[in-house]
Amino acid sequence: MVKRYTSQEYKAADDMIFGKSIYPVKSELGLEVGAGYVTAEVNYAPRPEAGVSKEKLVSEYRRLTTDIMARAVQIGFPAVSLETEHVEQMTNNPSWGGEIAHVQKTILEEYHEEYGIKCGLRHTPGDIRENRDLLALIGPKYDTLMESFEAVAEGGADFLSIETMGGKEVLDYAILRNDIPGLVYSIGCLGSTDMTMIWQDIRKIADKKGRIAAGDTDCAQANTAMFIAGGLLDKNLAHTIAIIARVIAGARTLAGYEAGAQGPGKDCGYENTIVKSITGCPISQEGKTSTCAHADVMGNLVMQCCDLWSNESVEYHGEFGGTSVQCWSETLNYDAALLNVATETGNAKLLRDMLVLSDKYRDPQGYILAYDNAYKIGSAIVKDGNDLYLRSKNAALACVDILNAADSKKLVMSKFEKNALANAKAALDSMTDEADNFMSDSLEKYKAEVAVFRPDDNYKF
């Protein structure tokens, strides 16, 4: 049994700030995350041609790692962290991922020795637990995944992460139908159940190898919702529904920490401010400096409480200013330098609040994720923290209430967004308070409606 959070580690929203967390973590090569300064976390993807063989992949990662480190010392940055999100071959063949981690770590060590630059390395094996049409969360693929974690930890990765997919088969169905109970079930219940299982095992591996079980993200669900919702003029999903999915993701990503994760949380978890308010653990975030990978409507705001600052992903190739990883790592590092100046000069809260205000009213999603409101969502989650269902539903309800209470002259919502919100509220109000009933009703409902939902094979309820 894992211990669930029933209170928040941060006692006030205003205490939350970038670069600082209550429980910092430290990498082998001196990088402290959340200990008072923000560090760039550089992300990259190999060129498609590089995936054909292990040798080519290893050499691609060797080159790009060296590029990043060379640029970091050229411009005089004190620290840098790297994240390697596996391409599928690297996880399915654990020794590939392991060797790449080792090659990268060796380069970091050389730079650390020569220049004293503080470095961190995150590896994120892909969640390979699926067959062509069905999730396969438990079974042989799970074992391969765990071998992959062992291999990258052995190879030298400081931070172990994954973007788990539990609940995705139901989410994909529910999100296209404005099905709010379906969001609570897929993200809050199925997702948390899967994460509770997998993160206990990741933590064991981390402890065994002296590494850090870092954290997860609800990329598979909340980011899917955010991308379907898209920009202001897209017509595929109300942004008010996308943010409901996001706050439920707060309750879900939390489950990883309850099962052993220690941070830094994964960059693409836009729910991370909510999670940080509860756990006090450091987080990575991405926004205005990840436009190479995707667009969002809160690029500045998400910097508010970050401990690592990431570009999500960029293909390794040439740009006018160097290779892509050099260009983006430089931008990230300059962003981090500005944040750190604010801290050094006592202006951190001022800068934080400016970042927030630049996006707080741009969209309902930013409004809720602004740290003051995110903190309130955190409070709603821990209220019934021991009940995965109730805490997810509470998060959704709090989100709806905060949006409804917003100053309508500042947060201007379309009729469509308001309508979707009203419907969501009605759906939430008619949901039961009994987790057992909800779980058994949902099981029946989605087994009947979603052909690819195979609960017995995938979840240890």
Binding-site member from 228, 337, 450, 452 for ligand B12 (CB under 6 A)? 228
Partner from another protein, ligand B12, none binding residue 223, C-beta < 5-8 Å depending on class? ligand B12
What does 130 bind: ligand B12, another protein, none (CB cut-off 5 to 8 Å by kind)?
another protein
Q: Minimum distance from CB of 175 to ligand B12 (Å)?
A: 10
* Complex with another protein: residue 71 or 246, whichever CB lies closer: 246
Confirm or reject binding of residue 45 to ligand B12 (CB under 6 A): yes
Q: Is 416 in the site for another protein (CB under 8 A)?
A: yes
Among 32, 172, 201, 441, binds another protein (CB under 8 A): 172
Is there binding between residue 217 and ligand B12 (CB under 6 A)? no
Helices 239-258 and 388-405, interaxial angle, to 10°?
140
CA–CA separation, 158 vs 445, rounded Å?
42
**If binding is defined by CB under 8 A, does position 144 make contact with another protein?**
no
Strand partners, 121: 82
Question: Taking CB under 6 A as the criterion, which residues in 154-173 touch ligand B12?
Answer: 163, 165, 172
Is 353 among the residues that bind another protein (CB under 8 A)?
yes
For 43, 81, 276, 325, the CA distances from 47, given in Å and listed in that order, are: 13, 21, 34, 12
Segment contacting another protein (CB under 8 A): 75-83, 107-115, 189-197, 412-420? 412-420
Task: Give the phi and the psi of residue 449 in degrees, each rounded to 5.
Answer: -95, -25
- Asked whether position 358 contacts another protein by CB under 8 A, the answer is yes
Contact residues for another protein, defined by CB under 8 A: 48, 51, 87-88, 130, 132-133, 172, 176-178, 224, 228, 232-233, 235-238, 241, 315, 350, 353-354, 357-363, 410, 412-417, 420
Contact residues for ligand B12, defined by CB under 6 A: 45, 85-86, 88, 126, 163, 165, 172, 219-220, 223-224, 227-228, 293-294, 312-313
